[in-house]
Each structure stands twice: as structure tokens, then as C-alpha cells.
Structure 1
Amino acid sequence: MTAVRPPGSTGLGNPVARTLRLGLGRIRYEVRAYFRLGDTVFFTFLFPVVMLTIFSVSFSEASFGRTADGEDVSASWFYLPAMLAAGVLLSGIQNLAVDIAMEKSDGTLKRLAGSPLPVVSYFIGKIGQAFVTGALQALLLLGLGFTVFGVPLPPADRWGVFLGVFVFGVITSAVLGIALSSVPRSGKSATAVVIPITLVLQFISGVYLRFSDLPDWLQSIANLFPLAWMARGMRSVFLPDELEMLETGESWNLPGVAIALGIWLVLGIVLSRVTFRWIRKDG
């Protein structure tokens, strides 16, 4: 006799469909858990919003350049792309590195290892959480910039570049966050290890300081890391073309942005594959 499969199902597709279904469920769980933690929400979700507000108010009388029409580039206009790039970094690298390190330390991953949850579904949940929280954060930053601080809307043809930099940046940052989660020796030390790394990267990558004002050697170091390229890509979307001359090589260099993020994405995947364990080796 020949077994009859239920309509719409395939023997090969069932494991894939199950993995995706469990992954989507993990995204919902991860997002809810994320917003229940007040300190995490402040230091990863609201932090760029707070910093954009502080810079916009503190330097409200300063000019960060001029357009071809003679219009001053305000502090809020100048810092909006920087905070968008920082938000991508925090949602991916900082949030996931600390979160996964904590789950290793408190036994959550050990319990998950004994459950039917596929490891791919777990990663879908984590990366999906970074996407959801990063997108909500970006919407909040854009809404604040355009409505409260009067930042001009970029041309319509630049929104595709924004979407590309955002999506590519979130994926790369999330994968690097998974890899970085293996560095802290315990959950208690996770924030002490991860936050200084992301903070230093923000200072040298043109988030809090104008990138062109940094020494050439420091710019060269910053260009070895993905945040400097994400910030550059965001500036190409929101800042006027007249400020392109301040970039390294006097160009937005969008192909360079894609190449740099692609290299870090591959590196992050390799490191995650080598270093990720459900439990610590010394646990």
C-alpha cells in the first residue's frame, strides 16, 4: 500500500517548514522578552534617540556645513545618520552578544540544547529580534528627526540605499554579536566586555565626532571595522552632496560599503560557526 501525505505537505519540506515556524515563534518570544528589560531597552533601543536629542539641543546654533543653496547643516541633520548607524550596531552586536552570553551563563542555552528546538530556529529568533527592534528604533529616529528637529527628507532615489545599508548592516551586526557572545567568561562580565568595545567603535567611526576631524591614522583603524562603513553609507543617504568631499577619498564609496560589510558578514559567520556552543566548554 502507498502512504498518502496530507495535502500541501512534502516529506522533504516538513523539517524546513518546522524550522521556520519555530524560528518565527522565537522572534515573537525574543521581542517580548527584549522589551521587558528596562536597562536593555534604554542602553540599546533608546540610547541613540537620547543622544540625537542631546546633540541636537546642545549644538542647535552650530553649523556642520552648507548646502549648495547656502543652507546650514544643523546638528540634528548631521547626527541623524550617525545615530541610525549606531542603532544598527547596538541592536545587533551589543544586544545579542550580551543576551546570548547571559543565556549561556544562566543555563538557558543548556536547557534549549535538550529541547527539540533546532539551532537554526534559535538563530532566526535572535536575528529576527535584531531586525524588529532595529527597524522600530530607526522609525523612531527618523520620526524624531523629520518632525521635531526639521531634518530635510532625502531624495526618493536614496531610500533604496538606506534600506540596503540597514538590512545588510543589521545582518552583519547580528552575526558578529553571536560571535562576540563567546568572549565574556560569564553573564555577569558580558556588559563589561561588550559595551566598551561598541563605545570605542562609536567614537572612532564618526558617530559622536566628525569623521573628517579625526587623525588619518585613526580613520584608517576605524575603516577596518563595519561601523565606520555603515555610518558612511547612512551619511550618503541623508547628508547633502556638498559634504561628500569630507569623506575619505572625497567619495561616499558605496561599493566599498558593500564590500566591507560583506567581508565582515562572512567573517562573522565563520567565527559564529567555530565559537558558538550551547554551553561553555569550561561550564
Structure 2
Amino acid sequence: MSATTSTTPAPRTTSHAVGSSILRAIRLGGLRIGYEVRAYFRQGDTVFFTFLFPVVMLTIFSVSFSQASFGQTVDGDDVSAAWFYLPAMLAAGLLLSGVQNLAIDIALEKSDGTLKRLAGSPLPVVSYFIGKLGQSFVTGLAQAAVLLALGFTVFGVPLPEEPQNWLVFAWVFVLGVVTSAILGIALSAVPRSGKSATAVVIPITLVLQFISGVYLAFSNLPDWLQNFASVFPLKWMAQGMRSVFLPEELVILEPNESWELPGVALVLGLWLVVGLVLARLTFRWIRKDS
């Protein structure tokens, strides 16, 4: 009589450990989002120049050009300044919440040693970036809510009634804020120190706003400047937002008399990939020359 022995496969401890690590990183990332948002709203200058700046600019343009008409709808209603500038300020808010805010914030954290301390802590790297992305998303969403509420209640801007318009708003917002945040992380490697971060980053975002149809009507810019601005994501974010909030009659002001929503998705997607590559190549917890 022969005895048979059965072998039980060893538990996959490696897979279990990886799964636990991922869940832990996500959980800590969620906690990090709360910390980042609280820290953001404690910085008065940051709140003004990123969160409130589009709100202030929308108010200024709406009051300054209150007697001007920026076009007419089929029903003969004038397109007010507030109506015309609302989508532009929503797009600018995405840029400021992502690119400007994170580029300056991370450069300062790198300069004052915060990132070096975090690198030596148990906090996973993924959790840190979840916190930064989550901060941009939460503050950008809150900013959009303030802009929409201001436009609707104070300046009488009609909001879209069709669900498909709000779906377009949702994907343009999500893709725009994620792309802007990733580009902000990549741009944080450019300033030589935390003190120079503001001087380096703000002019870049300000120039982009002027050439991308935020403060000036995009159709009024020279063709060569329109072509140059079309390389960058802000022009496409603004165009996507205009497709949501402006009447269809104003599509004739676009370069190809079309909202070009597939182009919006394509360009933002390409910049997202470019930002991921640049962030991977350039991000360091401490500067090499420090």
C-alpha cells in the first residue's frame, strides 16, 4: 500500500502584500488630499492669485463691459460680457489651480526641505501625488462652483439646460484639471529656488491667458498668434468651455467655425502624456545642485 501526499500551494503572499500596499497608498493619499486642501486655504496669497483671481476678473469684465454686446442669440438676446467671459474664466481657473498652484507650491516645498523630509518618511510617493492631484481637483471644482454661482445669480448668465452640455463640461473639467496638475508638477523643476518660483511661473501662465482667448477674444488675435496658442492646452480648455456655455451662434467666432471637441480631447490627452513624461524625468525630492 502506497501513501499519497497532497501538496497545498503556498499562499500568494507577494500578491497580497502588493494589494495591501496599493490600498495603503490610496488610503494615505485620501488623507493627504484633506491636508493639502487645508494647507491651500491657509495661504492668503495663494488663494487670491489662484482661487479668487478668475472670480475677480469675471467681476471686473462684467462690470466694465456691462453695456457692450458680444453677439446675439437666435431669439435676439444680447450676449453679455459676463456670459462671454464665464467659460474663459472657468478655463483659466483650471490652469491656475493646476499649473500655477502646484508648480509654485512644489518648488517651495523642495526649497524649504519639506520634500526631503517626506522622502525619508513612511509616506508612499504615490500618496504624495494623489494629495496634490486631489487638491487641484477639489479647489478647481470649488472655484468652478463659485464662478457659476456668481455668473448665474449676480450677472444673470443663463446656464445650459441640456444634459449633454454638462457631460461635455464634466470631461473637459476633469481632463483639463488633471493635465494642468501634471504639467504643474513638471514645471516645478524649472525654478532654481522657492523664492524665484513665483517670478518664473506666473509670467508663463499670464502670457498663456492673454494669447489663449481668456482676456482677449481669440478671433481678434493675429493668425500667427492663434496658431502659436493652439499648441498649448489652455486654448483648447477655453474652447471646450465655450462650447458648453456660449450659444451655438457664436461658434462662427472659432477659427474653423467649429467647437472641435475631438481636437480638445486629443490635445489635452497629448499634453497629459507629455506632462507625465516630463514629470517622470525631471521631478526630484531635492534639487541636484542643493
Q: Report the TM-score when normalising by structure 2.
A: 0.94
- List structure 1 runs of 4+ shifted beyond 3 angstroms: 1-5, 9-12
Q: Is 1:129 aligned to residue 122 of structure 2?
A: no
Q: Deviations over 1:31-56 (max 9, x none)?
A: 00000000000000000000000000
Measured in 2, the distance between the counterparts of 1:225 and 1:56 equals 27
Q: Is 1:168 aligned to residue 172 of structure 2?
A: no
Which one of the candidate residues 38, 50, 55 is aligned to 2:56? 50
The Cα of 1:155 is off from its aligned counterpart by: 3.0
**What does residue 272 of structure 2 align with?**
265
* Structure 2 segments unaligned to the other structure (5+ residues): 1-7
Measured in 2, the distance between the counterparts of 1:126 and 1:168 equals 15
Q: Is 1:206 aligned to residue 216 of structure 2?
A: no
The Cα of 1:3 is off from its aligned counterpart by: 10
**What does residue 221 of structure 1 align with?**
228
**What does residue 3 of structure 2 align with?**
none
Q: Deviations over 1:208-248 (max 9, x none)?
A: 00000000000000000000000000000000000001101
Measured in 1, the distance between the counterparts of 2:11 and 2:223 equals 68
* Paired residue type of 1:230: M
Which one of the candidate residues 13, 17, 31 is aligned to 1:11? 17
Measured in 2, the distance between the counterparts of 1:27 and 1:274 equals 24
Measured in 1, the distance between the counterparts of 2:18 and 2:206 equals 46
* Paired residue type of 1:96: L
For 1:27-106, list aligned pairs within 5 A: 27-106=33-112
The Cα of 1:11 is off from its aligned counterpart by: 3.4
SS of match in other structure, 1:103: helix
Inter-CA distance 56–12: structure 2 relative to 1 (3 Å threshold)? same
SS of match in other structure, 2:17: coil
Rg larger for: 2
The Cα of 1:265 is off from its aligned counterpart by: 0.2
The Cα of 1:10 is off from its aligned counterpart by: 4.0
**What does residue 243 of structure 2 align with?**
236
Measured in 1, the distance between the counterparts of 2:73 and 2:48 equals 34
- How large is the RMSD of aligned CA atoms in angstroms? 1.6
* Paired residue type of 1:134: G
Measured in 1, the distance between the counterparts of 2:57 and 2:63 equals 10
Measured in 2, the distance between the counterparts of 1:103 and 1:243 equals 44
Measured in 1, the distance between the counterparts of 2:273 and 2:9 equals 45
Q: Deviations over 1:128-177 (max 9, x none)?
A: 00000000000000000011100011132200000000000000000000
Measured in 1, the distance between the counterparts of 2:9 and 2:228 equals 65
The Cα of 1:118 is off from its aligned counterpart by: 1.0
SS of match in other structure, 1:11: helix
* Paired residue type of 2:151: G
Q: Deviations over 1:66-107 (max 9, x none)?
A: 111111100000000000000000000000000000000000
**What does residue 197 of structure 1 align with?**
204
Q: Is 1:282 aligned to residue 289 of structure 2?
A: yes
Measured in 1, the distance between the counterparts of 2:57 and 2:70 equals 17
Measured in 1, the distance between the counterparts of 2:179 and 2:138 equals 15
Aligned length: 280
Q: Is 1:144 aligned to residue 136 of structure 2?
A: no
**Percent of aligned positions with the same letter in both sequences?**
77
* Paired residue type of 1:251: S
SS of match in other structure, 1:271: helix
* Structure 1 segments unaligned to the other structure (5+ residues): none
